[in-house]
């Protein structure tokens, strides 16, 4: 019956049009003013009538008119445009995007909301901003784009974990990564790699080009609906969906290359020998050896360190160049989307192959996605999101291992790369020659990831919708390693490891949404639901040693299976959530939300945690006293307050447990932990005050926000009387706080044919650990969590430079004193640096002119310090045979020399003890992304039945300005067997850590 009705309507319209439109036909094409792309579905209506048409997929329309009417072009998301027809028969129109944020919709927890009505703090990034950026995972792509989200890649190795901190670190021992939610389903984001290497990154399984938008929920009002997992912020990732209309295809291809952002200058062979000879000659230790008769003279001593006599007959090797490379990059994406009013789809496939700048480091991802929505009836919509990805990550050894490629810089340049006798890699180097590792070892991680959701949405009565979702996140990862017999760890006959892990994470969300307008002045939106999530992890590990030859690499071929484990763990979360948004007179906003989380991790006495939040907003420009202010498009004051939690506390920390133990070959049981029924989540109390503004039809808009996050009940290992049989228990006892200011400013500097818009953001966060129950928590090499200090401060000896009279390294005796000493052991350790930045931010500019588009994103971090933990080896005035950075040539040589590099004295340890000598200001300004594109005119490409052809060139990390003398100021050596505590506290440390890649790509987007 309905179908008939529709047919009649169309028929009537056509008849009507033909009845009045007898005069003439106008036609034309509607495009987007921003990028010249055709706009399908634009409504073209004769003003004051119902006569109209809509544009076809190429943006074309035809309309019969009479007289000299005015035609109105309107399209969602664009400003209406009125054109008087006059004598024209062809009217081409470019519609400007409606930058008023009023109609902009943002994704929120379990729904969407108009940006104008949001009272919380939500940062939003659109998919097109992060498309085609040559990075393995999506977090890197949003670096610098939103205020208050600090993203640190830490290492330039591809495929590895990335730290994301939303408004600072809210925990010391529990995880600090935000909760990631893809299409409504929380996903696994923790590393699943082996313990003896650095963290892997499960988010790299997502294809960034499939993403429609990313919302980051920062304050309590927006995030409390995620309850016990929201303290670190929530990242909502929404994938692309189809729209009704002709099927559109998009093909993207890009290719390019990467190089290290920077190389560090090391001594060449001649410089090395100069410093080595000088250092040995100055050495008190060497003199004492000779006096004791161990060596006849200095030459014999040197022969003992260079057994092949390389110091007499030096090679000139640049070891650093051996491990860096110009790395290739390829990416293909093919998507199709479209559908009918009843059924819409998005399908895509992609392939990315990114070589790391270190030899032996690669990342490959092949992924597919199918998103389907189907209107089964007027009231029932069902749908499916399905994605499958395969990732292959060739990894290299962790930074701490001699086998990590970049530790090769420690090798003396006087030693040859190849053994002159065999022509093979030199095995007689001062330290392990990492090139042997590249040749004879591998560490391959293969992951399969399936993220799937099915949903049904049913409109029960007008305004009331029920939605049910069932989501599945299946992560299957295997990791195989082999070290050949000539490698350091594989000697004497090869060693191999194999680990397999499966993480199954399933979630069901069932919720009601209710929207109601009460009278003319009140609007209510309510959400009420229940969610259940269960996560199950299974892992197996086995290792073997002794292989017949390096051609055998599987553990089946090992002579000895020396270690094996099989483990499993799980947790579940049962939640009830609700939210009510109330709006009065379109200007007074109230949002009340909360979540009741029951977690299997929590103790029996605290099984359920309640996390409420309230937010209020006042849109001032709707008030009569500001109605006259034409220049003002938006002025919104907002405030929110609420509680969120952090449940990353270990699955069974609350339980009283027995574990197994064996004695004399017999299996026994041993108490493992005492029951702690009070154990619960860490709680963060957050206050957020903000103002959103827009001027001149929103050509200038932005926001200023202040927040205060106070975290209490921090989980700490508390010492208990061991007479109980237990030494420590985990309890909720600590406190810390973050407070800060975030500013975002967007401007449209030029509009018209030439457009220029800017977006600037900056965030100031101040972290302070306020209570650790009297404990000092150390992590990494010099980092600490100390009461009264920001998390992760550097605590070590304070270097005071060089005594100009004798070349001795000096240290400050104690904190707050100018008194110095050359006796390292007499000095006291103190807080000497802070790895936390004073502010971070980004500045993006986009330009377009005719078919050209240009965008330039700058990203910066100011005030963060880095401790180069390898400084005591590589920048240590030739205390040992490690090659030195070139700045060490500036060593003290004679009385009166003013320098910070002490006199070179081989083995004397002059200035080589761990100290602030290697703490540097690592502030930086980085050209993060630059893209120059050209969209070919439609007149050319339409001949080939194409709708869009854009070619572009892009640069990632295209420049870096910093005073940091190491490879890269964005550094944070990840460490192995990474506990949350290590990740939270042990920050800002460099240890032969790989710099970021500078990547240049060339690409093409083709639409048809």
Partner 1 sequence: MTTEMRSYRYMLTRFLPVFGLCLFLGTSSCDDELDVDPQLSIDAGNALTTSQGVQSALIGAYERLQGASLYSGDLNLMSELLGSTGNLIWGGTFLTYRQLYQKAITTDNAVVSDTWIRAYSAINVVNNIIKAVDVVEEDQRDEVLGEALFIRGLVYFDLVRFYGLPYEPGQQNTQLGVPIVLEPTTVLSNANNVSRNTVEEVYAQAIEDLTRARDLLPDRANLDDQKEDEAAANTYSASAVLARIYLQQAGEPGNSAEGPYLTKAAEEANRVIEQGGFALVEDFSREFNNSQNTSEDIFAIQQTVQSNAGQSNTGLATFYSASQRAEIEVATTFLAGYEDGDERAEILYLDDDDVIRNGKYDVYSANVPIIRLAEMYLVRAEANQRLGTALGATPLEDINTIRNRADIPALTSVSLEDILRERTLELAFEGQLLHDLKRLRRNVGDRPYNAGELVLPIPLREINANPNLLQNEAYT
Please report, as ranges, the residues that interact with partner 1 according to CB under 8 A.
376-380, 456, 458, 460, 466, 468, 508, 510-512, 528-530, 532, 534, 567-574, 576, 598-600, 607-608, 651-652, 655-677, 719-727, 729
Comparing CB distances to partner 1, the nearer of 56 and 570 is 570
The dihedral sign for the CA sequence 683, 837, 130, 1000: negative
* In the complex, minimum distance from the CB of residue 503 to partner 1, in angstroms, rounded to a whole number: 14
**Would you call 1006 helix, strand, or coil by DSSP?**
strand
Of the two residues 569 and 828, which places its CB atom closer to partner 1 in the complex?
569
What distance in Å separates the CA atoms of residue 141 and residue 144, rounded to the nearest whole number?
A: 8
* Least separation in angstroms between CB 601 and partner 1: 8
Q: Nearer Cβ to partner 1, position 631 or 658?
A: 658
Cβ nearer to partner 1, comparing 130 with 545: 545
CA dist 834 → 795, 831, 862 (Å): 9, 8, 12
SS (H, E, C) 93-157: EEECECCCHHHCEEEECCEEEEHHHCCCCEEEEEHHHHCCCCCCCHHHHCCCCCCCEEEECCCCC
Q: What is the distance between the alpha carbons of residues 218 and 926, in angstroms, rounded to a whole number? A: 25
Bridge partners of residue 392, in order along the sequence: 364, 446
**Residue 194: strand, helix, or coil:** coil
Smallest gap, in angstroms, from Cβ of residue 668 to partner 1?
3
Q: Kindly state the smallest distance separating residue 776's Cβ from partner 1, in Å.
A: 13
Phi-psi region of 436 (alpha: psi -120 to 50; beta: other; left: phi over 0): alpha
Give strand pairing partners of 960: 926
Q: φ, ψ for residue 917 (rounded to 5)? A: -50, -30
Least distance in angstroms from the C-beta of 1007 to partner 1: 37
Residues paired with 500 in a beta bridge: 478, 540
Contacts 24+ apart (CB under 8 A), 281-288: 282/903, 282/904, 282/905, 282/906, 282/908, 283/905, 283/906, 283/907, 283/908, 284/905, 284/908, 285/905, 285/906, 285/907, 285/908, 286/906, 286/907
Closer residue to partner 1 in complex, CB, 596/953: 596
Please give the biggest Cα pair distance in the chain.
117
CB of 190 to partner 1, least distance (A): 18
448 contacts 442 by C-beta, under 8 angstroms: no
Q: Nearest distance from residue 720's CB to partner 1, in Å?
A: 5
Q: Residue 785 pairs with which residues in a beta bridge?
A: 777
CB of residue 594 vs partner 1: minimum separation in angstroms? 14
901 and 888 in contact (C-beta within 8 Å)? yes
Q: Work out how close the CB of 610 gets to partner 1 at its nearest, in angstroms, rounded to a whole number.
A: 13
Q: CA gyration radius for the chain?
A: 32
Q: Smallest Cα–Cα separation from 106: which of 93, 118, 94?
A: 118
Between 509 and 744, name the residue whose CB sits nearer to partner 1.
509
Q: Which is nearer to partner 1, 58 or 914 (CB)?
A: 914
Residue 658 or 959 having the CB closest to partner 1 = 658
Q: For residues 726 and 756, which CB has a smaller minimum distance to partner 1 in the complex? A: 726
Q: Which of 60, 171, 3 is nearest to 684 (CA)?
A: 171
Cβ contacts of 8 within 8 Å, gap of 6 or more: none
Q: Of the two residues 534 and 766, which places its CB atom closer to partner 1 in the complex? A: 534
Strand partners, 777: 785
CB of 455 to partner 1, least distance (A): 11
State the Cα–Cα distance between residues 389 and 475, nearest whole angstrom.
10
**Minimum CB separation from partner 1 for residue 192, in Å?**
17
Shortest Å distance, C-beta 723 to partner 1: 5
Between 575 and 755, whose beta carbon lies closer to partner 1?
575
Min. distance of Cβ 663 from partner 1 in angstroms? 4
Comparing CB distances to partner 1, the nearer of 27 and 502 is 502
Q: Is the dihedral of CA 334, 365, 232, 611 positive or negative?
A: positive
Smallest CA-to-CA distance from 37 within 967, 996, 678, 949 is with: 949
Cβ distance to partner 1 smaller for residue 325 or 655: 655
Q: How far is the CB of 679 from partner 1 (least distance, A)?
A: 12
Angle between the 298-305 and 269-282 helix axes, to the nearest 10 degrees? 130
Pick 281 or 561: Cβ nearer partner 1: 561
Provide, rounded to whole angstroms, the least separation between the CB of residue 892 and partner 1.
Answer: 32
Backbone angles phi, psi at 968, to 5 degrees: -155, 135
Closest CA to 545 of 477, 498, 479: 498
607 versus 766: smaller Cβ distance to partner 1:
607
CB 430 within 8 A of CB 412: yes
- Under a CB-based contact definition with an 8 Å cutoff, are residues 589 and 575 in contact? no
Nearer to partner 1, 381 or 767 (CB): 381
- 784/950 with CB nearer partner 1: 784
DSSP-derived letter for residue 38 is B
Least distance in angstroms from the C-beta of 136 to partner 1:
33
Angstrom CA distances, 511 to 181, 225, 372, 468, stand at 16, 12, 21, 6
Instruction: List the beta bridge partners of residue 571.
Output: 535
Question: Got the DSSP string for 202-217?
Answer: GGGGS-GGGEEEEEEE
DSSP 8-state symbol, 904 = P
Q: Smallest distance, Å, CB 662 to partner 1?
A: 5
Q: How far is the CB of 787 from partner 1 (least distance, A)?
A: 16
d(CA 912, CA 901) in angstroms, rounded, equals 10
Q: Are strands 163-166 and 149-152 parallel, antiparallel or unpaired?
A: antiparallel
Of 481 and 575, the one with the shorter C-beta distance to partner 1 is 575
CA distance 266 to 795: 28
């Amino acid at each position: 019956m309905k179908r008939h009705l529709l047919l009649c309507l169309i028929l009537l319209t056509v008849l009507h049009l033909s009845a009045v439109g007898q005069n003439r036909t106008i036609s034309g094409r509607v495009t987007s003013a921003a990028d010249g792309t055709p706009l399908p579905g634009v409504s073209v209506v004769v003003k004051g009538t119902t006569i109209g048409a809509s544009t076809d997929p190429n943006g074309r329309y035809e309309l019969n008119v009479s007289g000299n009417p005015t035609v109105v072009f309107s399209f969602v998301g664009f400003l209406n445009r009125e054109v008087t027809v006059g004598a024209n028969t062809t009217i081409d129109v470019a519609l400007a995007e409606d930058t008023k944020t009023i109609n902009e919709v943002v994704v929120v927890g379990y729904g969407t909301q108009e940006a104008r009505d949001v009272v919380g703090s939500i940062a939003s990034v659109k998919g097109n901003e992060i498309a085609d950026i040559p990075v393995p995972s999506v977090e890197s792509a949003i670096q610098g784009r939103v205020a208050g989200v600090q993203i640190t890649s830490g290492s330039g190795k591809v495929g590895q974990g990335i730290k994301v901190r939303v408004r600072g670190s809210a925990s010391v021992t529990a995880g600090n990564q935000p909760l990631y939610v893809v299409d409504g389903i929380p996903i696994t984001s923790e590393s699943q790699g082996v313990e003896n290497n650095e963290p892997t990154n499960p988010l790299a399984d997502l294809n960034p080009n499939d993403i429609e938008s990313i919302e980051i929920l920062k304050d309590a009002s927006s995030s409390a609906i995620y309850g016990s997992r929201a303290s670190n912020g929530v990242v909502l990732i929404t994938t692309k969906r189809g729209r009704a209309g002709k099927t559109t295809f998009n093909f993207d291809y890009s290719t390019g290359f990467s190089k290290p952002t920077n190389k560090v200058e090391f001594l060449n062979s001649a410089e090395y020998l100069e410093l080595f000879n000088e250092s040995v000659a100055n050495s008190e230790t060497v003199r004492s050896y000779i006096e004791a008769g161990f060596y006849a003279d200095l030459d014999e001593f040197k022969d003992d360190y260079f057994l092949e006599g390389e110091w007499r007959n030096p090679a000139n090797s640049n070891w650093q160049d051996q491990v860096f490379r110009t790395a290739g990059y390829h990416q293909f994406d093919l998507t199709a989307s479209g559908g009918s009013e009843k059924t819409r789809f998005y399908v895509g496939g992609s392939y990315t192959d990114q070589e790391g700048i270190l030899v032996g480091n690669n990342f490959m991802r092949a992924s597919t996605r199918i998103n389907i929505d189907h209107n089964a009836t007027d009231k029932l919509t069902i749908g499916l999101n399905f994605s499958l990805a395969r990732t292959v990550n060739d990894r290299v050894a962790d930074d701490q291992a001699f086998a990590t490629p970049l530790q090769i810089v420690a090798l003396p340049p006087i030693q040859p790369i190849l053994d002159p006798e065999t022509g093979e890699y030199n095995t007689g180097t001062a330290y392990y020659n990492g090139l042997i590792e590249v040749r004879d070892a591998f560490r391959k991680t293969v992951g399969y990831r399936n993220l799937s959701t099915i949903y049904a949405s049913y409109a029960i009565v007008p305004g009331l919708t029920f939605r049910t979702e069932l989501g599945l996140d299946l992560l299957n990862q295997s990791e195989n390693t082999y070290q050949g017999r000539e490698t350091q760890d594989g000697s004497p006959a090869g060693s191999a490891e194999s680990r397999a892990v499966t993480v199954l994470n399933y979630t069901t969300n069932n919720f009601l949404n209710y929207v109601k307008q009460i009278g003319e002045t009140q609007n209510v939106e309510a959400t009420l639901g229940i969610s259940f999530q269960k996560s199950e992890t299974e892992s197996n590990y086995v290792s073997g040693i002794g292989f017949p030859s390096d051609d055998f690499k599987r553990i089946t071929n090992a002579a000895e299976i020396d270690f094996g484990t099989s483990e499993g763990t799980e947790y579940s979360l049962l939640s009830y959530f609700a939210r009510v948004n109330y709006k009065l007179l379109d200007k007074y906003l109230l949002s009340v939300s909360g979540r009741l989380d029951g977690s299997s991790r929590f103790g029996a006495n605290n099984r359920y945690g309640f996390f409420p939040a309230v937010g209020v907003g006042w849109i001032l420009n709707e008030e009569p006293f500001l109605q006259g202010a034409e220049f003002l498009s938006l002025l919104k004051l907002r405030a929110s307050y609420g509680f969120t939690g952090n449940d990353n506390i270990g699955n069974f920390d609350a339980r009283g447990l027995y574990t197994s133990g064996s004695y004399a070959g017999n299996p026994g049981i041993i108490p493992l932990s005492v029951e702690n029924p009070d154990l619960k989540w860490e709680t963060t109390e957050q206050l957020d005050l903000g103002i959103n503004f827009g001027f001149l039809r929103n050509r200038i808009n932005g926001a200023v926000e202040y927040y205060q996050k106070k975290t209490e009940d921090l989980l700490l290992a508390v010492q208990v009387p061991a007479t109980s049989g237990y030494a420590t228990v985990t309890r909720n006892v600590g406190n810390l706080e973050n407070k800060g200011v975030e500013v975002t400013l967007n401007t449209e500097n030029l509009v018209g044919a030439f457009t220029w818009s800017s977006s600037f953001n900056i965030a100031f966060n101040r972290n302070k650990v306020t209570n650790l129950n009297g404990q000092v928590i150390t992590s990494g090499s010099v980092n600490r969590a100390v009461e009264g200090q920001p998390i992760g401060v550097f605590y070590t000896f304070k270097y005071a430079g060089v005594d100009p009279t004798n070349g001795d390294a000096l240290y400050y005796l104690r904190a707050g004193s100018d008194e110095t000493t050359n006796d390292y052991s007499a000095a006291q350790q103190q807080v000497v640096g802070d790895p936390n930045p004073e502010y971070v931010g980004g500045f993006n500019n986009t330009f377009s002119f005719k078919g050209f588009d240009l965008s330039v994103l700058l990203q910066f971090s100011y005030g963060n310090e880095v401790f180069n933990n390898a400084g005591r080896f590589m920048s240590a005035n030739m205390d040992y045979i490690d090659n030195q950075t070139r700045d060490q040539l500036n060593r003290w040589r004679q009385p009166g020399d003013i320098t910070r590099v002490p006199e070179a004295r081989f083995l004397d340890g002059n200035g080589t003890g761990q100290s602030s000598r290697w703490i540097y200001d690592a502030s930086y300004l980085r050209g993060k992304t630059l893209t120059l594109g050209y969209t070919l005119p439609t007149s050319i490409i339409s001949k080939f039945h194409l709708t869009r052809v854009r070619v572009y060139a892009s640069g990632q990390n295209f420049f870096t300005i910093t005073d940091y003398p190491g490879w890269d100021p964005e550094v944070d050596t990840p460490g192995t067997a990474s506990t949350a505590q290590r990740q939270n506290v042990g920050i800002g440390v460099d240890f032969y850590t790989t710099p970021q890649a500078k990547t240049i790509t060339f690409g093409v987007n083709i639409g048809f």
